């Protein structure tokens, strides 16, 4: 399972609480913000036993751009709760880091559009995406 823009890992924790029957072999958490990654690691490790996880990987990544090649066609569940506050500026690609992580660009959907352009490179043929 992949959690994109994982923040403090709350979406993954909530998802796993509600789907205790699932066996998640490997949870990959990624975010552009290093502080968020540190928090998510602490939170997920805290719940690790309860949720039957074998493996956790934490990666600093701008959307999926920095995910290693080994994750190509790897995931069958993807979670994403990305910034969605509309703004007057485009934020695609190069401007993401300069502008910050609070909004989702024009109409608030730019991050999601960019995410979906690359998503199937990293998913299996059949996969489920849960978006907040
Ligand atoms: C609204 S918070 C949600 C956090 C978490 N998913 C949750 O549901 O609690 C959005 C997160 O997306 C991250 N983010 C923003 N832009 C990003 C990008 N380009 N790539 C990866 N993560 C990003 C932020 O750092 C932040 O942690």
d(CA 107, CA 129): 21
User: Does ligand 1 come within 6 angstroms of the Cβ of 82?
Assistant: yes
The CA-to-CA distance between both ends of the chain, in Å, stands at 16
Could you say which DSSP state residue 108 is in?
G
**What does the pLDDT read at residue 124?**
98
Ligand 1, closest atom to CA 62? 20
| Sign of the CA dihedral running 68, 124, 80, 13 | negative
DSSP 65: T
Q: Would you say the CB of residue 104 lies under 6 angstroms from ligand 1?
A: no
Closest residue to atom 9 of ligand 1, CA basis: 10
Q: What is the pTM (predicted TM-score) of this model?
A: 0.92
Domains in the chain, CATH or no CATH each: 2-131 (3.40.50.150)
pLDDT, tens only, 69-122: 999 999 999 999 998 888 776 666 545 545 555 678 778 888 899 999 999 999
Distance from residue 53's CA to the centre of ligand 1 (Å): 22
């Amino acid at each position: 399972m992949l959690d994109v823009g994982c923040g403090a890992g709350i979406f993954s924790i909530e998802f796993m609480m509600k789907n205790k029957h699932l066996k998640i072999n490997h949870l990959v958490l990624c975010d552009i913000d290093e502080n968020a990654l540190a928090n998510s690691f602490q939170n997920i490790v805290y719940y690790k036993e309860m949720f039957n996880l074998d493996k956790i990987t934490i990666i600093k990544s701008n959307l999926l751009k920095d995910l290693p090649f080994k994750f190509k066609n790897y995931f069958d569940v993807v979670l994403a709760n990305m910034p969605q506050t509309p703004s007057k500026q485009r934020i695609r690609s190069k401007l993401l880091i300069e502008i910050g992580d609070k909004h989702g660009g024009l109409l608030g959907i730019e991050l999601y559009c960019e995410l979906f352009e690359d998503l199937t490179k990293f998913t299996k043929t059949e996969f489920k995406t849960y978006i907040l």
